Amino acid sequence: MDILVNNAGVTGPIGHTIGGIDEKTWDFVLGMKAVIPQMKENGGGSIINISSLSGIYGIGNAAYNSSKGGLRTLTKNVALDYAKYNIRVNSVHPGTIETPMIAQFTGDSASRE
């Protein structure tokens, strides 16, 4: 394992406050650590975490915003922790991309083929 692109794009109902989110929802929207031991053994690697502008600016979905903001700061922390093993860790923060997941919230058709 030399490269991981951590690109899980999931969300939940918009408008949930932090008090209305169950643990299963929190666990569903974030993940990373499985590749680091092999990258250390291989002498390095690159992890690219796809976050979101929602990790910088809130959009009314506490679990999603928190996971993306957390991923942003987790990325910085892991980059510092594993730089000595030649493992680079970066995050990318795109805006909204027209997908079927987004269409369910906007009412737009994202299946233009």
Dist CA 22 CA 20 (whole Å): 7
CB 53 within 8 A of CB 95: yes
103 C-beta neighbours (distance < 10 Å), count:
13
In the DSSP assignment, the letter for residue 57 is S
Active site residues: 64
For 16, the token pair is 């949930």
> What is the rounded end-to-end Cα distance, in angstroms, of the chain?
34
